[in-house]
Amino acid sequence: MPQRLGIIGHPIGHSISPLFQQVALDAIGFDGAYEAWDVAPDGVGEFVAGLRAPGILGINVTVPHKEAVIPFLDEVDDWASTAGAVNTIVNRDGRLTGHNTDGIGFLRALRDGAGFDPRGRDVLVLGAGGSARGVVYALARAGIAQLFIANRTLERAERLASIAIDSGVAAEAMVLSDAPGATREVSLIVNCTSMGMVHGPDEDGSPLSAADIPSTVLVNDLVYNPLETPLLREAARAGAATLGGIQMLVYQGAASFEMWTGHDAPVAVMLEAATAAMRARS
């Protein structure tokens, strides 16, 4: 009987995780079935309890359940504790551990997807929400030199800068409109806002224009729908290197895959499937 895996959210129909995770399982000949479950908020506890059953290796967790699952787990790792969110649950003989692979996936996408090592670099992060917090923690662990955080509201940027400083990284907070002034000082720009996201509040917007972006930087937009966001188009116009959000999505999924199966994830296969799925939806 196939080992069971999957993803929970509410709603869940938008997720492409089942597409690239199942392709990955099949590619290595692993007898597993990856499903999608739409779980209402009031059903999270009961569903998580059911994950302790034999034959269930674990699940991914997406919105709005990343925080809600935590009280029902036996343990969470440092990444999840710092982020305050779980995106991966692993079942080991009925014991459930919570993980957050966003930071791991982000760093692997930079290094393997773009050939970029953040150690010793200066970085500008746009946004100060949940995804930005995971990114900042990952960058701190990777040993960056200096961090600039730009957000619509200065207070949230300052709170995130404090987290970075506590992790030993020099950090400066600013409002988003002041971000162009920091771009000339950095090697990497990471967009953690929802600007440019399909069906988002600012679908056609970009936090920076081509004139704001040096040709020497790498611009990483965590938005993966669409594959080419307005920010990535502006970066390309500026002659800068670009990295789309589909890379981080797949690499964080690959980290989950390896936790569940104990096998190296076939990342190239996963990227191809995920990219094809997004193109089919565009």
Residues classed as catalytic: 66
Radius of gyration of the chain (CA): 19
DSSP 8-state class, residue 210: G
- The helix-helix angle for 17-27 and 267-281 (nearest 10°) equals 150
CB-based contacts of 26: which residues, under 8 Å, 6+ apart?
none
Cα dihedral sign for 94, 265, 136, 195? negative
- CA nearest neighbour of 89 among 65, 67, 60: 60
- CA nearest neighbour of 22 among 37, 39, 11, 36: 36
Query: Which tokens in the block code for residue 278?
Result: 């997004």
Tell the residue number behind the tokens 């996936």, with chain if given.
Answer: 105
Strand partners, 56: 4
DSSP for 168-180, please give it: T-EEEEEEGGGGG
Cis ω for the linkage preceding 226 (within 30 of 0): yes
